[in-house]
Amino acid sequence: MFIDLRSDTVTIPSIEMRNAIWEAETGDDVYGDDPTVNKLEELAAEKTGMESALFVASGTMGNLVSILAHSQRGDEIITGDKSHIFRYEGGGASALGGIAYNIVRNNPDGTLDLNEVESAVRDSNDYHNPKTSMVSLENTQNMCGGRAITAAYTNELAMLAHTYGLKFHIDGARIFNASVFLDVSVDSLLKNTDSVTFCLSKGLACPVGSVVCGTADFIQNAKRWRKVVGGGMRQAGFLAAAGIVALDSMIDRLAEDHSNAKKLAYGLSKMPHITIDPTAVETNLVFFEIDDPYIQPVTKALETNDIKGASKKKKWRFATHYGIVESDITFTLNVLESVLHG
């Protein structure tokens, strides 16, 4: 088996998940009569402090149906320049909804400058402007190193959005990582939030799926858009069963991933030819750079020792997750050390 550090999406379902999938009671979810999907949605709404929830195929789908439910064709949404919505979702809001992106820079800690967000809000009385419909924040912020964003800041941004009559959406693909790192409940991170998407298929280790949460009216609208984009699944209870196991038993163990990421980051920081700030590693994502002459030797050594990582030339990301244990981190560091010190 590889030590697969490419992403927290590569996990293998636990025995408990496999058993739950095998034993799941199912129905037709498009008709709303799959009891296992219904149970997952109720549990997700409870965990997030929202009125209602909707099971979707992926985080990208969850963000897309949220944007479409909050916006009209010709509207504009405000999001970070390093946000997943802007960078990695195929321009879906524009392609399918005719919705534009107004980009505000992400600070190194993943936050958006409140003054810059306020300046980005369009004057809807000026017919030259598109209408701003929504502000989005990502927590944890992937491209900023998996940084966890506090409830206090999130509430400030939510209140700013609401001052201008805008909806406030959280791309919470890894919101449970933020919750565990900050030692606060997920619902406290979502105070005054209109909607959130979170992934079951990342740190929570499910094979498939994400959940969108919000008001009952919003979820009804999002469900319509889920159907439009082809996300109406039938006997989806087989997939939802794993999500129930995840929400019941996979949240607290995220602390293990964070600990392994810290060990990896501090080990890398002691090696020559690597640039990393280990103090910036808060959750399960470790970003670092390797000096050009050492990229190929490192790549070869990792491949030879069955270790996979995500890289774009000199920039690398390792992600810790369910299935990665402390001895895997030690082995990976030893392999890298043999090359870089050698």
Return the DSSP state at 142.
G
Taking the model in full, what pTM does it have? 0.96
The predicted structure's pLDDT at residue 316: 97
**pLDDT higher than threshold 80 for residue 103:** yes
pLDDT in tens, 43-90: 999 999 999 999 999 999 999 999 999 999 999 999 999 999 999 999
The predicted structure's pLDDT at residue 313: 84
Instruction: Return the percentage of the chain with pLDDT > 90, whole number.
Output: 98
Show Cβ contacts of residue 218 under 8 Å, excluding neighbours closer than 6 positions: 52, 69, 70, 194, 195
- For 51, the token pair is 């009125």
Q: How far is CA 97 from the centre of its chain?
A: 22
The predicted structure's pLDDT at residue 15: 97
pLDDT in tens, 206-240: 999 999 999 999 999 999 999 999 999 999 999 99
Task: Kindly list the distances between the CA atom of residue 270 and the CA atoms of 192, 273, 308, 317, in Å, as whole numbers in the listed order.
Answer: 42, 10, 21, 17
Could you tell me the pLDDT band of residue 107, with boundaries at 50, 70 and 90? very high
Provide the 10 A C-beta neighbour count for residue 208. 17
Mean pLDDT (whole number) for 18-30: 97
Show Cβ contacts of residue 148 under 8 Å, excluding neighbours closer than 6 positions: 110, 139, 140, 177, 178, 181, 182, 282, 283
Matching CATH number, 253-340, of 2.60.120.20, 2.60.40.420, 3.40.190.10, 3.90.1150.10: 3.90.1150.10
**pLDDT higher than threshold 90 for residue 269:** yes
The predicted structure's pLDDT at residue 154: 98
* Domains 15-249 and 253-340 equal at CATH topology level: no
Mean pLDDT (whole number) for 168-194: 98
H-type alpha helices, the chain? 15-23, 35-48, 59-70, 84-87, 92-97, 114-120, 151-163, 175-182, 186-189, 216-228, 237-249, 254-269, 295-304, 326-340
**pLDDT higher than threshold 80 for residue 307:** yes
**pLDDT higher than threshold 90 for residue 342:** no
End-to-end CA distance of the chain: 26
Q: Are 34 and 27 in contact (CB under 8 A)?
A: yes
**pLDDT higher than threshold 80 for residue 301:** yes
Alpha-carbon distance of 143 to 132, in angstroms, equals: 25
Q: Are 284 and 209 in contact (CB under 8 A)?
A: no
- Ordered by start, the domain boundaries in the chain are 15-249, 253-340
**pLDDT higher than threshold 80 for residue 106:** yes
Mean pLDDT (whole number) for 287-303: 96
- Looking at domain 15-249, does it have CATH number 3.40.640.10? yes
